[in-house]
Amino acid sequence: MRFFIKEFEEKRREREVQRLFELLEDVTEVRETQVDRACRASDQGLSSLAGNLEVALSMCHRILEAEDKLSSADDLSERRERRRCEWQAV
C-alpha cells in the first residue's frame, strides 16, 4: 500500500512538473512573439486614431465657429429691427 501511495505521489509530481514546463514554454513563446506584434498593431492603430481625432476636432471647431457667426448675425439682425422700430416710432 505504501509503495502504491509513493508511486502515485511521484507520478503526480512528475505530471505537475511537466505541466509547469509546458506552461513556461507557452509563456516564453507568447512573450517573444505576441507582445511585439501587439505593440506594433497598437502603434499603427493609435496613429490612425490620433489622425481621426484631429479631423473630428477640426470639424467641431468649424461647427462652433459657424454657430457663433450665425448667432452673432441673428443678434445683429434683431438689433437692426429694434432700431428700425425705434426710428419709425419717432
Grid cell 501587439 is found at 38
Please, what is the end-to-end C-alpha distance for the chain in angstroms? 121
Listed by start position, the domains of the chain span 1-90
How far is C-alpha 44 from the geometric centre of its chain's CA atoms? 13
pLDDT, one tens digit for every residue, the chain (90 residues): 777 777 777 777 888 889 999 999 999 998 888 888 888 888 888 888 888 999 999 999 999 998 888 777 777 788 888 888 888 887
